Amino acid sequence: MNALTAALKEELNVEMISLGGLQVPESVVVSWGIMLFLVIVSILLTRNLKVDHISRRQAILELVVTMIDNFFTGLLGEQGRRYVPYLMTVALYIACANLIGVFGIKPPTKDLNVTAALALMSICLIEYSGIHARGGKGFLKSLTAPTPIMTPMNILEIAIRPTSLCMRLFGNVLGAFVIMELIKLVVPVFVPAIFSLYFDLFDGLIQTYVFVFLTSLFMKESIGGEE
């Protein structure tokens, strides 16, 4: 267990990288790399788009984007369509951040600061969507639903949501690491390799889905208003 404790402390430790005399967290540098990768891939995939006689690449891209757009629009409704690009972007970032562990790079989502920032951005958009859909008065009125006595609980819920999103993502990613370390202590080398592939690929994508799905549900609830 001493080995597990040491490994866990090392995993939770945020390494600092010196860039031009500035000490920048490793998770931030890796995030910059992921964003650069996504920008380059986006440019390559969307260049030379056509209306007629489209390429196979464009057809596949349009199919994937349409499927994702329909999924989120089905959850949020037409009022929430404007927020789909954000949800897609966050999903791509979290997926890349979780999958990057396959290449031996520490995922940024193992840094609590990163997951907290993602949760705060999402909760700000969730509350903004409610204000935009209902108006300022409608949003304040929703805080007193179903009765004014519930106002403190409704306000507390606003603070609980980002905490839930943050800890769910961080806890699951870190939990996968703990499980892997325990497996390494009791089974041969090739078995941990198989489980590592599962946690880095399948579980990483599942956590991406859970994060954006919960964000969408919270947003739908905020947009809902008085039916």
> Above 50 in pLDDT, residue 34?
yes
Residues whose CB falls within 8 Å of the CB of residue 136, separated by 6 or more in sequence, listed in order? none
Q: How far apart are CA 40 and CA 36, in angstroms?
A: 6
**pLDDT digits 0-9 by tens, 109-152:** 888 888 889 988 988 898 898 888 888 888 888 778 778 888 88
| Residue 192: pLDDT band with limits 50, 70, 90 | low
Which band of pLDDT confidence, cut at 50, 70 and 90, is reported for residue 87?
very high
Q: Which H helix or E strand runs over 19? A: strand 16-19
134: tokens are 């209902």
Average pLDDT over residues 77-99: 90
Using pLDDT thresholds of 50, 70 and 90, give the confidence band for residue 93. Answer: very high
Nearest residue to 184 (alpha-carbon basis) of 174, 192, 175? 192
Q: What is the 3-state secondary structure (H, E, C) of 143-195?
A: CCCCCHHHHHHHHHHHHHHHHHHHHHHHHHHHHHHHHHHHHHHHCCCHHHHHH
* Nearest Cα to Cα of residue 87 among 207, 224, 208: 208
pTM (predicted TM-score): 0.81
Lowest-pLDDT range, 158-162, 172-176, 187-191?
187-191
Contacts of 88 (CB under 8 A, 6+ apart): 65, 68, 69, 72
Average pLDDT, the chain: 82
Q: So what's the pLDDT on residue 107?
A: 85
Does residue 181 contact residue 9 with C-beta atoms inside 8 Å? Answer: no
> Is residue 156 over pLDDT 70?
yes
Is residue 164 within 8 A of residue 103, CB to CB? The reply is no
In angstroms, rounded to a whole number, what is the distance separating the alpha carbons of residues 8 and 185? 14
- Residue 23 forms beta bridges with which residues? 18
Please compute the mean of the pLDDT values over residues 157-186 and round it to a whole number.
76
- What's the average model confidence in pLDDT over 174-187? 71
> How far apart, in whole angstroms, are the C-alpha atoms of residue 95 and residue 91?
6
Confidence at residue 226, expressed as pLDDT on a 0 to 100 scale: 43
**Looking at residues 89-111, what average pLDDT do you find?**
87
Which has more pLDDT, 180 or 32?
32
Res 225: pLDDT: 47
DSSP 73-122: HHHH-GGGGGGHHHHHHHHHHHHHHHHGGGGTPPPGGGSHHHHHHHHHHH
